[in-house]
Amino acid sequence: MPREIKFSLVYRDMWQSSGKYVPRVDQLTKIAPVIIDMGCFARVETNGGAFEQVNLLFGENPNKAVREWTKPFNKVGIQTHMLERGLNGLRMYPVPADVRQLFFKVKQAQGTNISRSFCGLNDTRNLELSVKYAKEAGMISQVALCITYSPIHTLEYYMGIVDRVVEFGCDEICLKDMAGIGRPAFLGSLVQAIKKRHPHLIVQYHGHTGPGFSVASMLEVARAGVDYLDVAMEPLSWGKVHPDVITIQAMLKDAGFLVPDINMNAYMEARSMTQSFIDDFLGYFIDPGNKHMTSLLVGCGLPGGMMGSMMSDLKGMHGAINMSLRSQNKKEVSLNDLVLLLFAEVEYIWPRLGNPPLVTPFSQYVKNIALMNVMHTLKGEPRWSTIDKNAWDMILGKTGKLPGTLAPEIIELVKKNGFEFYTGNPQDAFPNELDKYEAEMKENGWDLGQDKEELLELAMHDRQYRDYKSGVAKKRFEAELEAEKAKAGAPIIITRPVVEMPKINVEAVQTKYPEAKAVQTPSKGQMLWEYDAIDESKAPNIGDAVKEGDIVGYVQTTYGIEPVKTSYSGKLVAIYPEQGDWIQKGEIVAFVG
């Protein structure tokens, strides 16, 4: 009798691997019945990851979005699943244990059936509470193995993780091939080993199409005993996203597997509706490059979904790099040159940083270090000159144990900076905080929400939630959308004054101060020149002397406060932008001359 393989539509990840935003709740509830009518999905990925932060950025209530979006699938027996980041919950930095516990209770009450939990470092200590809290809340606990390719990431390595999370009580295993660089034969062997040692486990495969392995990988894991495959659908399938359900269904059917039929009329309707969401406004935030596959990802191992933000980073740095090269009488570089340099740099530094799987947030940390290394080396400066706080936390073990070994040069940097390695359980470093957030809600007269879901949003995404409650988030999104439409040449309706952010006049500054050097921001967010919210020290003013390593400002990012340091000694001769202005990573914010 043919063995059955079921499909899961990763509708959330389709969008978030393509661009910045996901559809609004009214759009999601509109397409849900059509997805159901397709008749081929046993599961749908409805939320998780950055989904709820995106709702808040819209000025939309994420709790309403999850409840309304999961409801039609729950009604017909299609399981809903979500992605959560273990120690980091739904955000990019660690979450206290009491917030993590409430999170699972809320998601189960809202209609999410399965929690797909992963740790970007595959550290099982960060997964233990995810399994425990998911099971206590009545959810199915699925643990995801972050798949990558290196001499360290062997069959024995992954089976050690599987054995440990089975001890915790997890129900399922997912092979999370986030960059699509898992080799098909290896993945088949891994599924076979899991099924042989733990035959009761459900196994699901999730593979991105970026470097082109994923279709072959799906056939290999199917033959090895996988139960579910994550698939996408047009117009967002392929590229750096996921294989399309039509292709995978036809391939498996021909290979002798029992697979569900696809209602093509419903498929075409869902395809058309998804395209209408793109045409409505979401297309303004989708990077066209994400529609293309590239074998260059095989070497560097970066997730394809990062390409959009990476290209934005490179474009922001391009001018400053060429300005420096001109001052050194060196040949300027093209944007394509920078892409190749960045890929090569990631490939070079990755093993030296202990081989962290390149998945959120560690892929961002490694990419950020590589970006700054490229910038510094092109300027004739040493590697590792700029490493941000979050990357240091990864290096020092504060967010989990690195799979590999740090290079001697990195260990030397740790000693030089006077840092210490953290050897405790990462969760222990983050005390409970729910009481603090509940007190804030009572003080503001805010309702804790059904099943305390509003309290959870504040505790999980405090800055974004405050902006949502104040109405700032909605105004900011509307202004951003108007700006994107204007950039694309579309007519826009002005409903409020749109203020163009003044850019620093690089040539004017350098004409007046020929020796002046640029200070660039390590991250994107809101520029903070005033220190009183951060510490009691005084911010330097134009004309003040600064020395290498001094903090000249801060950036309020989605994950916390990042200091902006000068790499040069001299006088602060120019600053940009204004307090609270939004800036991009790598953007020039000051000059020291």
Q: Which residues of 539-568 are buried (b: 16+ CB within 10 A; e: fewer)?
A: bbeeeeebeeebbbbbbbbbbeebbbbbbb
> Nearest 5 degrees, angle CA 91-CA 97-CA 100?
50
pLDDT in tens, the chain (593 residues): 899 999 999 999 999 888 889 999 999 999 999 999 999 999 999 999 888 888 999 899 999 999 999 999 999 999 999 999 999 999 888 999 999 999 999 999 999 999 999 999 999 999 999 999 999 999 999 999 999 999 999 999 999 999 999 999 999 999 999 999 999 999 999 999 999 999 999 999 999 999 999 999 999 999 999 999 999 999 999 999 999 999 999 999 999 999 999 999 999 999 999 999 999 999 998 878 788 888 888 888 878 666 656 666 777 777 777 777 888 888 888 888 888 888 899 999 999 999 999 888 888 889 889 988 988 888 888 999 888 888 999 999 999 999 999 999 999 999 999 999 999 999 999 999 999 999 999 999 999 999 999 999 999 999 899 999 999 999 989 988 888 888 777 543 333 333 333 345 666 666 677 777 888 888 777 777 766 545 556 678 788 888 888 888 888 765 556 788 888 888 888 887 777 677 877 778 888 87
Angle between helices 362-378 and 335-352 (to 10 degrees): 120
Whether 333 maps to a domain, the answer reads yes
Whether residue 424 sits in one domain with residue 328: yes
Pairing of strands 517-520, 140-146: unpaired
- How far apart CA 120 and CA 309 sit, in angstroms, is 19
What 3-state class would DSSP assign to 570? Answer: strand
- How far apart CA 70 and CA 45 sit, in angstroms, is 9
Whether 477 maps to a domain, the answer reads no
**Residue finishing a domain among 404, 428, 452:** 428
Whether residue 418 sits in one domain with residue 323: yes
518: domain CATH number is 2.40.50.100
Whether 257 maps to a domain, the answer reads no
> Nearest 5 degrees, angle CA 270-CA 275-CA 276?
95
CA distances to 267, 373, 383, 526, 574 from 552, in Å: 54, 21, 22, 14, 11
Q: For residue 561, what are the domain limits?
A: 506-592
At 452 the pLDDT is 97
Whether 517 maps to a domain, the answer reads yes
**Residue finishing a domain among 397, 428, 459:** 428
- Cα–Cα nearest to 172, from 200, 192, 197: 200
- Cα–Cα nearest to 7, from 218, 316, 278: 218
Whether 279 maps to a domain, the answer reads no
Answer yes or no: are the C-beta atoms of 186 and 218 closer than 8 Å.
no
The total number of structural domains in the chain stands at 2
What DSSP character marks residue 504?
Answer: P
State the CB neighbour count (10 A cutoff) for residue 20: 18
Task: Return the structure tokens found at 436.
Answer: 């603090």
Strand order in the sheet with 517-520: 517-520, 588-592, 570-575, 545-546
Whether residue 511 sits in one domain with residue 424: no
Whether 33 maps to a domain, the answer reads no
At 505 the pLDDT is 62
Give the DSSP H or E segment for 115.
Answer: strand 114-118
Pairing of strands 41-48, 6-9: parallel
At 190 the pLDDT is 98
Whether residue 424 sits in one domain with residue 517: no
- Amino acid identity, residue 551? I
- Amino acid identity, residue 115? S
**Residue finishing a domain among 401, 428, 455:** 428
Whether 380 maps to a domain, the answer reads yes
At 504 the pLDDT is 57
- How far apart CA 154 and CA 36 sit, in angstroms, is 39
Whether residue 411 sits in one domain with residue 521: no
Whether 326 maps to a domain, the answer reads yes
